[in-house]
Structure 1
Amino acid sequence: MRTHSIIPRPVTEYDLRLLRIFVSVVDHGGFAAAEGALGITRSTISVHMTNLETRMNLKLCLRGRSGFSLTEEGQAVYRAVIQLFDSLNDFSLLVGTLGKELSGELVILCADQLDEKKQLKLAQTIEIVHQAAPNLHIVLDGDAISNIEKLLLKDKAHIGIFPDYQPIEGLDYQPLSSEPIYLCCSHRHPFFHKVDHQISEQDLAQASTIHPGVDIHKDGKEQLRKLNLNARSYQFDMRKTMILSGQYLGYMPQSYIQQELNAGILRIIQPSILTYQFDLSLVTKKRPRETRKLALLQKAFKTAFDLPA
């Protein structure tokens, strides 16, 4: 008959330390892989894991020649520990919002490379935030749209910058910018030296073209449907590189390629027809936890980007 777990109630700091080691081992896929992250030897990790299993009176994992794996009980404990650590982080975030001075992290995530004009406006946004709340630790980074959405919903990010072509429940979308996007080719492509009327629909349907890899504006969707989509690239700088190879057509905003247009190494094809709008939005959680931080950030964006109140 199984005896009860000897982990006390409430859980001690020692228990939390053992649980953090357990999570690191699981996340890294074994004792050996977790050595570097934890900064302790494999034998020490083994001792800690044995102590944890003893204190819980549970077999959490299997290790041997077949590799590392969790038992059914280990999987349940892992899920519960992740929830526990999330709750502790949430508590820290809550306490951070209660003081007069805003502190902790302020996370801004962007899915798209910004042109120079937008970069300067974003820089002004950060300047406004930093001057208003110098104790905030500002995090500005790029990520995939799907990851940004998840982080916003989990209150792990405060604001995202990405297109709103596929809005999801729980998020708010405020227009940030809108500009036309055009089909382009490089000077190495056969279309470069043809005038627009010499490039037929059949020519376009046969030419290798880059798909952005995400859902886009309905007009753009209709245009892409008629093209030979045999490559994929979302980020504009990477897409421009593929276009410059001379092997592909691809859609680009003019603001991102003006230098190449001026240099005569890129051209726009049939701009009155092969174009659609590229819209960026400020995306936030509808019911965010850290409302004061978000309010400051939104006010700064409105000032820098001259957005409507």
Structure 2
Amino acid sequence: MLNRLQESDIKLLRVFYAVASCNGFTAAEPVLRMQRPNISAAIKKLEERLDLILCHRGRGGFQITKEGEVVFQETKRIFNAFDNFVFNLKNLHDDYSGHVTLVLMAGLPLSVHLAVSRAVRSTMKKFDDIHVNIQNRLYNEVEHVAQSGECHLVLSTYDMVKPESVIFHSTGTSFAGRMYCAPSHPLAKYKDSLPANINIEDYPAIGISGLSSSNYIGEDERMSIQTFSDSFDVCMSAIMTGEYVGLLPDYMAREQGVALGLVPVGGGALFNFEHELFVMNGKNTRLNPVLRYLIKELCHFVTESQKR
């Protein structure tokens, strides 16, 4: 069992990280520039070091184990920290090269993802030898990853009290939303407004962990939260069972909900909310010219994407 991480373990973890990322030994060969027998031997040695089975390989194909998935996620955190350390160290010498880690909140609209692509491309053209790692995190994780230094920048909506340890750069963009239900839900038949005798607290609802505005619909009215999800995508899946109502941003209804028949409760005029989109970074993150330029480009392209 591994008690202390050694340099040889780092090399083995890099092999496993590549194999897990590529979802197989063969696909990892050109990435690692290693032949399959050597990759297999490295994985076997790592499994012996950790006293764990990390993946199954054979006629059934490559399959990562539950323990392997945990090791993969922790390995990702380690290598992100390494990349960030090297990038920040180069900053001290005004050497603006290396890897930048950008985290996106899960469930952002396609227009924002396209804006991110354009901002990243612009930054990579502006600065030589810059590579950008783009990752997803759940809403209830974005504040932590910004504070902890696991990444350089975060792009996310935010509706809570802003902590002093995080700097927020406004993109000038907000996303509106409202309460939705499935076409099979009892409230779906009220297309224009809800009758006065309807009490929304009588209907089971789903909330989102860490997102306060998804759980409350006003000072006097609260949803009857019976269960929680960890993202808007999962929340929509629960809503479509017909058992729950819930709050969703309108872009989800437009991009995915139309095909599902998602229905705005009371015609959509009730229970509205609005979330502002920010680029965030921890106060301990040194905003060198690369990061400042990327922030500027993210704000610019996100704003442009919402004008179309």
TM-score range (shorter-chain normalised) is: 0.5 to 0.7
Residues 1:303 and 2:288 are matched in the alignment: no
Q: 5 Å matches for 1:205-216?
A: 205-216=201-212
Show structure 2 runs of 5+ residues with no match. 10-41, 52-78
Residues 1:161 and 2:168 are matched in the alignment: no
Residues 1:247 and 2:232 are matched in the alignment: no
Q: 5 Å matches for 1:113-192?
A: 113-145=107-139, 147-164=141-158, 165-176=160-171, 177-192=173-188
Per the TM alignment, residue 147 of structure 1 is displaced from its structure 2 partner at its CA by 3.9
The match for 1:20 is: 5
Q: 5 Å matches for 1:3-14?
A: none
Could you say if the C-alpha distance between residues 112 and 166 of structure 1 is closer, same or farther in structure 2, counting changes exceeding 3 Å?
farther
| Deviation string, structure 1 residues 247-288 (Cα, Å, up to 9, x no partner) | 111111222112556457111113223111122211112342
255-264 or 277-286: which moved more? Answer: 255-264
Number of equivalent positions: 242
- Residues 184 and 242, structure 2, Cα contact 8 Å, conserved in 1: yes
Could you say if the C-alpha distance between residues 99 and 218 of structure 1 is closer, same or farther in structure 2, counting changes exceeding 3 Å?
same
- Give the whole-Å Cα distance in 2 for the aligned partners of 1:139 and 1:91: 14
Per the TM alignment, residue 179 of structure 1 is displaced from its structure 2 partner at its CA by 2.2
206-215 or 287-296: which moved more? Answer: 287-296
- Give the whole-Å Cα distance in 2 for the aligned partners of 1:120 and 1:278: 20
Per the TM alignment, residue 170 of structure 1 is displaced from its structure 2 partner at its CA by 1.6
Per the TM alignment, residue 211 of structure 1 is displaced from its structure 2 partner at its CA by 0.9
- Residues 177 and 248, structure 2, Cα contact 8 Å, conserved in 1: yes
The match for 1:285 is: 282
Q: Which amino acid aligns with 1:191?
A: L
Q: Secondary structure of the residue that 2:151 maps to in structure 1?
A: coil
- Give the whole-Å Cα distance in 2 for the aligned partners of 1:115 and 1:167: 23
Q: Which amino acid aligns with 2:86?
A: S
Q: Which amino acid aligns with 1:303?
A: H
Return the match for 2:273 from 273, 276, 293.
Answer: 276
The match for 1:234 is: 230
Q: Which amino acid aligns with 2:299?
A: K
Percent identity for Structure 1 against Structure 2 = 14
Q: Secondary structure of the residue that 1:20 maps to in structure 2?
A: coil
- Give the whole-Å Cα distance in 2 for the aligned partners of 1:153 and 1:227: 31
- Give the whole-Å Cα distance in 2 for the aligned partners of 1:227 and 1:87: 40
Q: Which amino acid aligns with 1:174?
A: H
Could you say if the C-alpha distance between residues 222 and 36 of structure 1 is closer, same or farther in structure 2, counting changes exceeding 3 Å?
farther
- Give the whole-Å Cα distance in 2 for the aligned partners of 1:105 and 1:233: 32
Could you say if the C-alpha distance between residues 261 and 240 of structure 1 is closer, same or farther in structure 2, counting changes exceeding 3 Å?
closer
Per the TM alignment, residue 36 of structure 1 is displaced from its structure 2 partner at its CA by 5.2
Per the TM alignment, residue 230 of structure 1 is displaced from its structure 2 partner at its CA by 0.5
Q: Which amino acid aligns with 2:154?
A: G
Q: TM-score, normalised by structure 1?
A: 0.65
- Residues 166 and 283, structure 2, Cα contact 8 Å, conserved in 1: yes
- Give the whole-Å Cα distance in 2 for the aligned partners of 1:87 and 1:265: 43
- Residues 191 and 199, structure 1, Cα contact 8 Å, conserved in 2: no
- Give the whole-Å Cα distance in 2 for the aligned partners of 1:155 and 1:140: 15
Return the match for 2:87 from 86, 90, 93.
Answer: 93
Q: Secondary structure of the residue that 1:274 maps to in structure 2?
A: coil
CA RMSD of aligned residues (A): 3.8
Could you say if the C-alpha distance between residues 168 and 221 of structure 1 is closer, same or farther in structure 2, counting changes exceeding 3 Å?
farther
